[in-house]
Structure 1
Amino acid sequence: MPAFSFAIATMNPIELGQGTFPLSEAATDRFAIMINIGYLPPPEEAKLVNFDFKRVRLRSLMSKERIIELRARINEQVFLHERLGVYIQRLVAATRPYNPDTDWLVRSPSELVERGVDLGASPRAIICWGRLAKVWALLQHHRAEVYPEDIQSLAPYILGHRIWLGPHAASHGLTTDAVIKDVVERVPIP
């Protein structure tokens, strides 16, 4: 792979069945994060009435070279303490329900996971979370060290598309966001 490569995808559940299809759990897991954009606020939405795509001028926020430089700097200069690495691993593990069929014989500290989750986050979440926590610390907070709150802030984006609820979860009002919040509250910071 070239030094500068990444993929961005969109998912619109309205279009399913019209030439698009849902991604499998394995395919979804390959994306580092998922951001739910939702609808625009009404005042912004009202501006769309006269919106002209031809008049849109995009400007670069950062050069390709700067991104490559920042990637190297993040790996070399942003510190993620080993204990926070363990914290990330415990958070990911806590998303998985006890399952003797898959040899996952650890019970989650979250009752919501045990009752409503069919499939929790994979080890790929750990890899993404460690890297993105460093990026977050540097770019969002201008720090060369990851703090526990950096890890917690990223939880919905890292885990939201990696936790698969059982079919009965929705009928009980259980959401992925509620599961993530419960896991973060129950897993102690080392």
Structure 2
Amino acid sequence: EGLQDRTVTVGKTTFELPLFSFAIATMNPVELGQGTFPLSEAATDRFAIMVNIPYLPPAEEEKLVGFDFKQVHLDSIMSKERIIELRGAITREVFLHEKLAKYIRRLVGATRPYNAETEWYQHSPSELVEKCVDLGASPRATICWGRLVKVWTILQRRRAEVYPEDIQDLARYVLSHRVWLGPHAASHGVSVEMVIDDVLARVPVP
């Protein structure tokens, strides 16, 4: 509820969250055991992106030995009101061409295998999707991708217009937790990253 509707209900009372609010969560393998439970597809889908954080390089990890985290001091560089203002400005001012919006929609659609039960009657251009994916990305992926690519473009590329490569840069972040693989993928060593890369390779770029 907090992620999607920006409200939290306790008992019969619903509280509205402030405009400047977001959730960050860590995901541990279910195999770790007690206290770890898998999230449902619907709950996972409500997180905008997923970032895979690998182990630190040895030289960086060595710096943690004896590091005093209490000595870390962060200075504010911007008020939350300014962030909210800029968020609205980016949405309005960064240009996403209609053809690129359709490109995002086609990429998301290509993660879905043909499935009469879900009334998705299109075949993916990716054979990996058809053989290995049980559940593809939802329309929420399309919404998030369209919003995030504008932020990515202006912060990373210093541009006010979205290019195809900006969309491709975000593919793994937006899709990796929204594409659910089936048993065929596990038995053939197919990862979700391989599926996403194959979708990118097979959907024509406008």
Give the TM-score range, shorter chain: over 0.9
Distance 1:14 1:132, change over 3 A: same
Distance 1:67 1:173, change over 3 A: same
Task: Select the residue among 55, 63, 73 that pairs with 1:39.
Answer: 55
Normalized per residue, which structure has more helix?
1
1:125 equivalent in alignment to 2:141: yes
1:8 equivalent in alignment to 2:24: yes
Which stretch has the larger CA shift, 58-67 or 19-28?
58-67
Count of equivalent residues: 190
Secondary structure at the aligned position of 2:26 is classed as coil
Q: Do 1:16 and 1:22's aligned partners in 2 also have CA atoms closer than 8 Å?
A: no
Task: Select the residue among 165, 174, 178 that pairs with 1:158.
Answer: 174
Secondary structure at the aligned position of 2:187 is classed as helix
Task: Select the residue among 10, 16, 19 that pairs with 2:35.
Answer: 19
1:170 equivalent in alignment to 2:186: yes
Task: Select the residue among 73, 85, 97 that pairs with 1:81.
Answer: 97
More RCO (CA 8 Å, sep 6+): 1
1:183 equivalent in alignment to 2:199: yes
Structure 1 regions of 5+ residues with no counterpart? none
Structure 2 regions of 5+ residues with no counterpart? 1-16
Q: Report deviation, 1:55.
A: 2.0
**Mapped partners of 2:193, 2:141: distance in 1:** 16
TM-score, reference length from structure 2: 0.87
1:51 equivalent in alignment to 2:29: no
Q: Do 2:30 and 2:36's aligned partners in 1 also have CA atoms closer than 8 Å?
A: no
Matched-pair identity in %: 74
